[in-house]
Amino acid sequence: SQVLTEVAIPGSNKISRRADYVLLDQRGRPLAVIEAKRKAIEPYTAKQQALPYAQLLNAPFIFLTNGQLIYFWDYQNDDARLVNSFFSRRDLERLLERRTTRKPLATIAIPDYYTRQGETFEVRPYQKEAMRAMDHAIELGKRRFLIELPTGTGKT
C-alpha cells in the first residue's frame, strides 16, 4: 500500500520511461520517486532522469540511491543531499505539511523568558542575538551551525 514498482510515466509508452519506485501517501497519491542505480554508479547523476518522473507524477520528493548512498531531494526547495536512510511515509507527509504552514522565522517573536526544569529564566540579549543569527542562517538555507559561547552562558 506504500510502494509501487516500475511505474509507467504518463504520456510515455517507452520502457525506459518508468520510475523504479514510487512511495505513496496515506491517500494513495505519489509522495516520492526513488531512482535506483547500480552500485558502480553515483546516484546523484540520476537527478535529471528522476526530475521529470517526479514532476509528471506530481510527487514532491525524490530519492536517488545505488544501495550504498542515498540522496534526498526536495526539488522545489533544495538541492539533493546525502541522508542516512529513506524517510518514512510519516516523515515525508510531515515535510509536506510544514510547507503549507511555514512562517518566516523573522516573523516569530523571540520570547523574553523561558522555562527549563521548572525554573523561569530571562533570555539574555546575546542569546537573542544568537537566535536571530540562527534564524537568518536558516532562512538562507544553511543546515549546519556552530554556536560558541563560554560554559554557563545559556547555549542550551
Question: Domain-by-domain residue ranges, the chain?
Answer: 3-101, 103-156
User: What average pLDDT does the segment 47-56 reach?
Assistant: 89
Answer whether residue 9 shows pLDDT above 90: no
Answer whether residue 12 shows pLDDT above 70: no
| pLDDT of res. 24 | 92
**At CB < 8 A and 24+ separation, what contacts does 85-94 make?**
86/34, 87/32, 87/61, 89/2, 89/23, 89/24, 89/25, 89/26, 89/31, 92/23, 92/25, 92/31, 92/32, 92/61, 93/25, 93/26, 93/31
Answer whether residue 14 shows pLDDT above 80: no
Question: In this predicted model, which residue has the larger pLDDT, 52 or 78?
Answer: 52
Answer whether residue 16 shows pLDDT above 80: no
Q: Fold for domain 3-101?
A: tt1808, chain A (3.90.1570)
